[in-house]
Amino acid sequence: MSSEPAATSRGWFIAFLFIFVALACLSYLVSAPLVKPLSWAMLLSFTVYPVFRRLRDRYFPRSTSGNWAATLVTGVVVLLLVVPTMFAGFVAAREGVRFYETVADVMAEMGTSGEGALSALLPERTVEKIQVWTERYPILRTGLRQAAEFAAATAVAASKEVLGSTLTFLYYLAMIIVFSFFLIRDGHLIIEYLKDIMPLPQRESEAFFRRAQQVLQAVVYGVIVTALSQGVVGAVGWLIVGLPSPVFFGALMALFAMIPLLGTALVWVPGAIYLFYTSSTMSAVILLAWGILVVSMVDTLMRPMFISEGAQVHLLIVFVGVIGGVASWGILGLFMGPLVVTLFVFLLDYYRTSWRTMFLP
């Protein structure tokens, strides 16, 4: 008789497991397109949650839902972060398309006026050298005209791509704002629920989420603040030496600053080479010195202070997380990569400690 309840329980468990796995797969298919905006919303809500908690406790102590405080904090996020980001993206896209159109127009004019049309882009001495080489080697003239056709086509394609990317960005932005509101308001409830279902003792579960908080805080502030600072000082240096479109190239420096090893040098080194080639030696030296002593120094001083020291994680783990995260998830991997690797190392260390405690003398 005792085997009958066990068999019944086993049958219910198998049915439950089948339904659970099926619904988990369907839930993944439904939520997979929203993983990226949801991840960005998690980062934003994590960053501003302390502000929400202070605002709720101080000005809305009687509100049990936290709707008013969450609405205000979400509005502040939109005003202080989303709107400037949209404006910076619009300016960068406009400058980039304008740059492509200028190049395309100049290259297209080469078909009628010859290599002299390049004087709108290059110094006169450089254009004279190009004309000498094209007269000596006619194949170069053919190559330049083909480049003109390619540049014109690229300008049109770039305009269409910017328009499509803008629409996608606005859609993601709307999703991020909606997700951020609910994560800001109910984030503490979600964390408590995750703690309850974590297959870890309470002490280790608390340590797990505490480690996640340390890593996220260090990476978010380290990456964003450092990249924005490098973009600003890089644009200032670009403006000092008189190069065009400092806002556009400053935005490029802020973007490339998130790339490990290479960084902003991908922008200011070619700028200095261009200045050297155009005989602006003093300006080239100033840009090189600015890039090495100011732009790079911002990264050297700020990033380790935020990430390595703030998260209390070995620099190799952060490096592996950043490189692998960027390769897997793009810019989002800058934040999620170190978090995933660090939490895996935490669980691995917990396994090592538990194994020694349970099975080793």
Tens-digit pLDDT profile for residues 64-79: 667 888 888 888 878 7
Residue 197: Cβ within 10 Å count: 7
* Range among 116-125, 165-174, 178-187 with highest mean pLDDT value: 178-187
Q: What angle do CA 290, 295, 301 make, to 5 degrees?
A: 130
State pTM to two decimals.
0.64
Look at residues 247, 248, 251 and name the one whose alpha carbon lies nearest to residue 230: 251
Residue 178 pLDDT > 80, yes or no?
yes
Residue 1 pLDDT > 50, yes or no?
no
Rg of the chain on CA atoms, in Å: 27
Which of residues 347 and 127 earns the better pLDDT score?
A: 347
Please give the pLDDT value at position 214. 81
What is the pLDDT averaged over residues 148-164? 58
Which of residues 313 and 165 earns the better pLDDT score?
A: 313
Read off the pLDDT of residues 221-260 as tens digits, 9 standing for 90 and up.
Answer: 777 788 888 888 888 888 888 887 788 788 888 878 877 6
14-52 burial code (b ≥16 CB/10 A, e <16): eeeeeeeeeeeeeeeeeeeeeebbebbbbbbbbbbbeeb
What band does 145 get if pLDDT is binned at 50, 70 and 90?
low
Left (φ > 0), alpha (ψ -120 to 50) or beta: where does 137 sit? beta
Q: Distance between CA 106 and CA 87 in Å, rounded?
A: 28
Read off the pLDDT of residues 42-72 as tens digits, 9 standing for 90 and up.
Answer: 888 888 888 888 888 888 777 666 788 888 8
Residue 164 pLDDT > 80, yes or no?
no
What band does 26 get if pLDDT is binned at 50, 70 and 90?
very high
Read off the pLDDT of residues 107-123 as tens digits, 9 standing for 90 and up.
Answer: 556 555 555 555 555 56
Residue with tokens 């960053």: 47
**Pseudo-torsion of CA 18, 24, 29, 32, nearest 10°?**
-160
Q: Distance between CA 126 and CA 279 in Å, rounded?
A: 10
